[in-house]
Structure 1
Amino acid sequence: MRGIDYYELLGVPRDASTSEIRSAYRALAKAMHPDAGGTAGAFRLLREAYDTLADPERRAGYDRGDDYPGNDHRGSDYPSNDHPSNDHPSNDHPSNDHEPEYEPEDEPPPVRTRRPRQAAPHAPTLPVIEPETIPWWDEVRRERHVRLEPRDGPSRTVMLAVAGAAVFLVLATALLGAPAWLLILSVLVGGAATVECGRRYLAAQRIDREFTAEFGNRTVFGSPGTEEDEVAERLTADLLSRYLTRIPGVRICHGLAAEEGSVFADLHHAVLCGHRLVLIESKSWLPGHYDVDGTGTVLRNGHPFRGGSVHLPERLAAYRALLPDAEIRGALLIYPGRAGTITVGDGLGHTPERFVRELGGWLAAEPSTVDRGILATLLRQVVSPG
């Protein structure tokens, strides 16, 4: 009889992708193989679970509760056709040709196969985070002017200061009755400084205009995954747009390559504000308490978690090498894959609430700054359309 839920055996949610099922099976197979100290029966059951869930047709039938070849519908305590029958009398009970032939009792009804419990359809949603519970919410103003950095020329204030200093130099020289040649020299020096400062200021303004013309006030680049098993990415995209775009300098990227030149979107999200960058990996896992350390080791309810892997530490190392001038932090955002609650300990693991309050506040330290150099590098890494 099938009395174990295959999803629970593998430690994956009911909407797990084939790759997640394969990863979970491989991890468990190493520990449950008879050569590693496991039992043959447990390993056969694990293999049956994998073969069933890895095959789309068999998985669909399993989810419907269909029966499969190899599932015995009778308990092992009931006789089968392979057992000796009364047609062959024993020595202890000789046959009597004059007695009526033995009529066996009706065969017991088959034992009902226990079908897996059908979990109610679960559509993950974002929690509502009240603004008054977000410490940085009122500290940023959406209407504040965005400042582009690094600047390639002097600011307007510096340019005006240089021009004023040049005028003061000429006037002071004239009022002090300096020789004509000194007055002429002061005019030439002051004029040259003002012209050079003005030239650099205009060049910087032109670069700013070109950057603005190319990107405008756009804050989101790329797009999250669209597959059924990428729902966590879409939830994070909604979370970032709903809350973090309140910060004027925030720029959000979805679907980035992990390395330069790659065409695979191995990094789910990146959020930049000023010189601070947050890299995000999104997961939809079973409810429970998760602890995730800096190496990517995951514990669920205090035990090693085999239902998914974490690549965020590798992405952090790659981007720190790619962007040495940026301050980079990582976050593993976890959503419940079925009805229930997710909690996290200290470390990389984050719930949506913790992420918005803590890392949102970290990004809001430079609320109005956009680092063009870092953003340009990030945009070269975006491989998903959007």
Structure 2
Amino acid sequence: MMAHVPSHYEVLGVPVTASVAEIKRAYRRAARQHHPDHGGDPLEFRRVTLAFEVLSRPDRRTAYDRSYFTSSPQREEQGGRREEHSGRREEHSGRAEGAPSAAAGTTADGGVHAHARRTAGQRSQWAEPAVYEPPFAEGVVPLVPADIAARPEHGEPRRRGLFGAEARIQRERSTAALIRRQVLAQIPSARLLNGLRSPADSAHIGHAVLAGYRLALVESMLVPRGNYAWDGAHLVHGSRTVAPPLLAHQVRHFQNLFPELNVQGFVLVATPDGNPHEPVIDVRRGAEGIIEPLNASKFVRELRHFLSSGPQPNTVFVPALARLLTGLH
């Protein structure tokens, strides 16, 4: 397994919420400790200097944060190979090996059957209180302060563009409320982030949900009531076709940025009346779209299953949460 590449924040020993004054104090402390003239390690001193050069300048820090710590990584050549961020990435199948299928483990309203909730008389791990990795320890400065890491929801929909802003904001608020009620309330480790900025093209992503070592990217759309057919690329309603939000390329990009996580995309299709079983969406034979649009009932069921069936689903993976928090617009 390749070595972990520390972020600039880790090198200086400050949280991602650190002020410029805190960064300067941490730099002076670290520079004295690692300066070669004082018997320190030249490699560590270079890491400290690079971290300070980036984090002490607002423009460079913003670019670094929006790249999710990849625009100016702490890499050193060793033996002709670059160190890479190691991770516990599972197979990118959207389901942990041996996990029950959605049909077998969930009820029609998105609830979980008793046999999925309990194993050998015990509660399933996803329903346990959240634990933090790495754990918070006295004397160790975490990447995210404990009180912030404990918050189930971060960020909010933001105004962007000139047209349709209010409708979009209301739709995203409704989506966040649905996730809050039906997912966060069920999975204590789940963390909802509203309004991420994609480093691929500066596009906005409505929502992301992190639980354990799984990350769900979520977009939503509003359509009139009725029956729709999904042909793999469009929702078809009579003579009308509607393209869902383009999310697949963002999923691929975030998977590359977070190799330690399993990343999957979800598109919620809602109707004005808020009926969770509307619209009815039939999947045409042979439709092989990467991300199938889902009504609210199926969306909740599939999202809950994805997050709860992963490895260590009751874990809040603090390094990933820290990177995502810096990507909020």
Please give the TM-score of this superposition, normalised by the length of structure 1: 0.45
- Give CA-to-partner distance per residue, 1:238-294, whole Å, 9 cap, x none: 1011111121110000011121694x5x1000000011011111100123324163x
Among 180, 193, 211, which residue is 1:241 paired with? 180
Instruction: List alignment gaps of at least 5 residues for structure 1.
Output: 1-129, 152-202
Q: Distance in 2 between matches of 1:283 and 1:247?
A: 25
Q: Quick check: 1:219 aligned with 2:165?
A: no
Give the helix-richer structure, 1 or 2: 1
CA distance in 1, matches of 2:234, 2:174: 21
| CA-CA distance at 1:224 after TM superposition | 2.4
- State yes or no: 1:298 paired with 2:231: no
How far 1:352 moved relative to its partner? 1.3
* 1:344 CA drift (Å): 2.6
2:178 aligns to what SS in structure 1?
helix
Aligned to 1:147: 131
Counterpart contact for 2:214–2:263, Cα < 8 Å: yes
How many pairs are equivalent?
198
1:142 and 1:326 map into 2 onto residues whose CA distance is 16
Shift in alpha-carbon separation, 1:207–1:260, aligned structure 2, 3 A: farther
Matches within 5 A, 1:1-386: 133-135=110-112, 144-150=128-134, 205-207=138-140, 211-213=144-146, 215-225=148-158, 227-230=165-168, 231-245=170-184, 246-259=186-199, 262=202, 266-287=204-225, 288-291=227-230, 293=232, 297-301=233-237, 305-306=241-242, 308-337=243-272, 341-345=278-282, 347-365=291-309, 366-383=312-329
Alignment CA distance shift 1:142-1:217 (3 Å): farther
Distance 1:136 1:356, change over 3 A: farther
For 1:290 and 1:257, locate their aligned partners in 2 and report how far apart those are by CA, in whole Å. Answer: 31
Q: Deviations over 1:3-32 (max 9, x none)?
A: xxxxxxxxxxxxxxxxxxxxxxxxxxxxxx
Cα shift readout 1:191-249 (whole Å, capped 9, x = no counterpart): xxxxxxxxxxxx95544767443515201011125632213211110101111112111
**Aligned 8 A contact 1:277 1:327 in 2:** yes
Name whichever structure is richer in strand by fraction: 2
- 8 A contact 1:284–1:337 mirrored in 2: yes
SS in structure 2 at match of 1:305: strand
Over aligned residue pairs, what C-alpha RMSD do you find?
A: 3.4
**Per the alignment, in what secondary structure is the counterpart of residue 232 of structure 1?**
helix
Q: Is the 8 A contact 1:147 1:369 kept in 2?
A: yes
Amino-acid identity (%): 25
CA contact (8 A) 2:156 2:194 kept: yes
Q: What 5-or-longer segments of structure 2 have no aligned partner? A: 1-106, 118-122, 160-164, 284-290
Q: TM-score, normalised by structure 2?
A: 0.52
Q: Which has the larger radius of gyration?
A: 1
Q: Which fold has the larger relative contact order, with Cα–Cα distance below 8 Å and residues 6 or more apart in sequence?
A: 2
For 2:175, the aligned partner's letter is T
